[in-house]
Amino acid sequence: MMSSYGSKKTHTNLVMVAVDKDKNSGYAYRWTTNNIENPIIIAVHVKHKDLPHQGTNVFPPDEEDVDNVFSTLREMCNDKVVKMKEAVVDDSDIARGLLDYAKRNRIQTIIVGAPASYTKNVLSRSLNMRTISKRFKGYEDIATSIIKSAPDYSSVYVIAKGKVVETRPAIRPLDNLDVKSPGMSPAMTVCKSENDIRGPIFKRGASTSRSRRGLLLLSTNQSLESIDLSNHHSQKSQLFSHNSSLNENNSSGSHKFGSLGLPKLDKDSSNEADSQHKEEMEAEMKELRLKLRQTMDMYKSACKEAITAKNKAKEINQWKLEEARTVEEVMMSKEAALAMAEQEKAKAKAAIQEADEAMKKAEKEAQRRLKAERKARREMEEKDQALNVIARKDIRYRQYTLEEIENATQNFSLSMKIGEGGYGPVFKGQLDHTNVAIKVLRPDANQGRKQFLQEVEILCNIRHPNMVLLLGACQEYGCLVYEYMDNGSLEDRLLRKQNSPPIPWQNRFEIAFEIATALLFLHQTKPEAIVHRDLKPANILIDKNFVSKISDVGLSRLVPPCVADSVTQYHMTSAAGTLSYIDPEYQQSGKLTTKSDIYSLGIVFLQIITAKPPMGLSHQVKRAIENGTFSDMLDPVVTYWPIDEVLVFAKLALRCAELCKKDRPDLALEVIPELNRLKEFGFKSQKYERNRSHALRPPAPPRGPL
């Protein structure tokens, strides 16, 4: 016949595949498309009905059959399949329906899918195992029925899980009958090389399904009639040729019989009977050989499966041994884990006990500290009360009344205000025909009263030419009366507020020396050293002769004498002072020493020569010295800086501003001697410039006679 895709004549094979809803049908169909060349596949599905047998009815598949049975088969078509037809048979016996369809359509190859139990049945029949055959005695499935009752011109293959488990080859050919492929019909599906399935499009609905059903039935009957017709013509032609040959033999035989006589006929008939018997024996032997070959193949397959089962059993035993070993290890590890858990539990219990003891100790320590704080607070209050009493009766300073302070400041007029500090505003005034600076306590200052008493106490007990002089106080209003400093603070002069003239570099060296000597005086106060804690340019005042004096000692602290050697520190609960001038160690740890003032002194020295803000100033100067740009850091309003001496001064200031207090120099032994040398150098320079300017001055004209 002709293929669907070319004119070349190829041999086709009419194959019937029994299909159902189970997966065994899929295995059988896939095996057919992969192993049989040029097949015309007729997928037959038998609808089992519990009715008396009244013949076999063949119908095309309806929508339910397509969804449940044939839709998955269409997806398995490949380019090896010539054509595919789908048919549904109604019969009360599935095997009988399949055999009737195969006989009626002269099917050459029958493919049946076998359940898993079928392999055991085959083994029992092939190996003659009594124990297995007894178990499956009387069992006969669809595949067995088809193998026994299939036509002798048909080959039967039983497929299980994609493999052939039993075959029965055709005993004789199909009388050399050219089986024509069924014609194309709406139920026919043509599989092309693109692996797509082309067929009718079944629409949902009763009228459409009925019309399609009629068309499919018509095409099926037409195709079956064409096959039957072709078989009929073939048989008729063979019968005609056989009769003609017999006539020829008879004619020739009559001629021979006429010449040879009757005995010749008896001999020929006996020879013909012997040859026919011989042919039957050869056919039977051929069939026996085929069955023997099948039996041997099944025996080999059974042996392979037995070996596989033995190997699987061995693997299962090995797995069981490994599982038992694993379970044993798990049990041992579980016991070890339990023992470890007991140990950890004991450790946790001990840790809880230790934590409870530590908590009890902490509570006792907290109670002790609370008592100590209450006691210290009570002592501080008693001390403040004593200071207040002493301050009211103190005769070491002049006590002014509020009326005198108001008259001196013109009722605290803003025009008389000359500054503002953390303590409160500062006013210029005149008391006893003398210019004074009056510092007034702010009403909202929390520590103002304490600072007032602290500053009165310190300034009344010390006298130094570079410490601001306390003239008196107003205990009632919290006012402190100081001597008036005409040039204001060092900060104002460095920033040149109110267009004040710049400070010469010689005076800057002298101011640095005076601040250092006043600070040393505080540190060497007996019986306890005084730490200023708030040394900065705003708290350094300058008089009209550029003499500098330290003020604002309200934050000062009296520390034990041993603090001066930097071995024992005086611990403070909170750091006080201005942020950029506070000692970093004191700020972090609260440990106060006399070297805490040395750090502030170093920052003040750097501002004296640079007139720059204090934030990060030590780092900027150090980097400028390393890069060789130190001269760019100096105050530009001063000309003719002595670079060598100023560089020595800057390095000394950087040593004072070291982060670690142990790296800072000693004030009495290192800082003041070097500052004294630089001050003398400035005096000599001033004297030299003064003499030079006097020499360059033109002589005065002579005076005439009176």
Of 574 and 103, the one with more pLDDT: 103
Which residue type does 193 have?
Answer: S
Q: Residue type at 251?
A: S
pLDDT digits (tens, 9 = 90+) for 340-390: 888 988 999 999 999 999 999 999 999 998 888 888 888 877 777 766 665
pLDDT recorded at residue 1: 36
Parallel, antiparallel or unpaired: strands 479-483 and 188-191? unpaired
Whole-number pLDDT of residue 226: 39
Beta strands in 395-453 (DSSP E): 398-399, 417-420, 425-431, 434-440
- Report the pLDDT value the prediction gives residue 646, as an integer from 0 to 100: 95
Residue 6 is predicted with a pLDDT of 36
Q: What average pLDDT does the chain have? A: 76
| Residue (of 35, 73, 36) closest to 189 by Cα position | 73
Q: How many CA atoms lie within 13 A of 120 on its CB side?
A: 12
Average pLDDT over every residue of 77-106: 84
Q: How far is CA 266 from the centre of its chain?
A: 104
Output the six-digit token pair for 657: 């501003």
Dist. CA 314–CA 562, nearest whole Å: 90
The reported pLDDT for the residue numbered 261 is: 35
Based on C-alpha coordinates, what's the Rg of the chain?
A: 63
Residues contacting residue 21 through CB under 8 Å, at least 6 positions apart: 68, 69
Give the pLDDT confidence score for residue 195 in this predicted structure. 34
Tens digit of pLDDT for each residue in 270-317? 577 778 778 888 888 888 889 999 999 999 999 999 999 999 999 999
The catalytic position among 65, 534, 597, 635 is: 534
Summarised one tens digit per residue, pLDDT across range 469-486 is: 888 888 778 888 989 998
391 within 8 A of 475, measured Cβ to Cβ? yes
Under the banding of pLDDT at 50, 70 and 90, the label for residue 118 is low
| Average pLDDT of the residues in 211-239 | 37
Is 597 marked active-site?
Answer: no
Classify residue 418 by burial, with Cβ atoms within 10 Å: 0-12, 13-18, 19+: middle
Whether pLDDT at 415 is above 60: yes
> Is-contact 298 122, C-beta < 8 A?
yes
Tell me the C-alpha distance between 425 and 437, whole Å: 10
- Look at the alpha carbons of 538, 544, 545, 551 in this order and tell me if their dihedral is positive or negative: negative
Distance CA 11, CA 537 (A): 117
CB-based contact 98:18 (threshold 8 Å)? yes
Evaluate if residue 573 carries a pLDDT over 60: no
Read off the pLDDT band of 117 (50, 70, 90).
low
Question: pLDDT: is 120 or 138 the higher one?
Answer: 120
DSSP letter string, 102-169: HHHTT-SEEEEE--HHHHHHHHHHHHT-HHHHHHTTT---HHHHHHHHS-TT-EEEEEETTEEEEEE-
Which of 14-18, 43-47, 461-465, 518-522 shows the lowest mean pLDDT across its residues?
A: 461-465
CB atoms within 10 A of CB 344: 10
pTM: 0.46
pLDDT of residue 205: 33
Which residues have CB under 8 Å from 377's CB, separation 6+? none
Residue 260 has pLDDT above 80, yes or no: no
Task: Please state whether 433 falls in left (phi above 0), alpha (psi between -120 and 50) or beta.
Answer: left
DSSP symbol at 67: I
Task: Tell me: pLDDT of 136 over 60.
Answer: no
Residue 191 is which amino acid? C
Strands 155-160 and 398-399: unpaired
Architecture of domain 394-484: 2-Layer Sandwich (3.30)
- Does the pLDDT at position 450 exceed 60? yes
CA distance 220 to 206: 21
More reliable by pLDDT, 125 or 278: 278
pLDDT, tens digit, 9 for 90 and up, residues 529-570: 888 888 999 999 999 888 999 988 766 665 544 444 443 344
Closest CA to 70 of 185, 182, 158, 187: 187
Which secondary structure element, helix H or strand E, spans residue 483, and what is its range? Answer: strand 479-483
What is the DSSP code (8-state) at residue 393?
Answer: H
| Nearest by Cα to 235 from 243, 245, 246 | 243
pLDDT above 70 (res 29): yes
Which of the 8 DSSP states describes residue 698?
P
Closest residue by Cα to residue 96 from 132, 55, 64 = 55
Cα–Cα dist 505/639, whole Å = 9
Cα 298 from Cα 65, distance rounded (Å)? 35
Angle, to 10 degrees, between the axis of helix 116-127 and the axis of helix 142-149? 50
Helix (H, G, I), strand (E, B) or coil at 258: helix
For residue 180, the SS3 value is coil
Report the C-alpha gap between 157 and 27 in whole angstroms.
12
| Tokens, residue 406 | 């108001």
Q: Burial level of 547, CB count in 10 A (0-12/13-18/19+)?
A: middle
Give the per-residue pLDDT at 632: 93
Confidence of residue 674 (pLDDT cuts 50, 70, 90): very high
Highest-confidence segment of 108-117, 385-394, 506-515:
506-515
Per-residue confidence at 257, pLDDT binned at 50, 70, 90? very low
Helices (H), 564-638: 584-589, 595-610, 617-627
| Residue 229 pLDDT | 36
Domain 13-248 has CATH 3.50.50.60: no
- φ and ψ of 240, to 5 deg: -65, -45
Please report, for the chain, the start and end positions of each structural domain, with discontinuous segments joined by +. Answer: 13-248, 261-375, 394-484, 487-694
Contact 628, 531 (CB under 8 A): no
Instruction: Measure the CA–CA gap between 104 and 95, rounded to whole angstroms.
Output: 14
Alpha carbons 470 and 400: distance in angstroms, whole number: 12
Which range among 471-485, 571-585, 634-648 shows the weakest confidence by mean pLDDT? 571-585
Output the pLDDT for position 444: 61
3-state SS, residue 628:
coil
Tell which CATH classification among 3.40.50.720, 1.10.510.10, 3.40.50.920, 3.30.43.10 matches the domain 487-694: 1.10.510.10
pLDDT level of residue 645 (50, 70, 90 thresholds)? very high
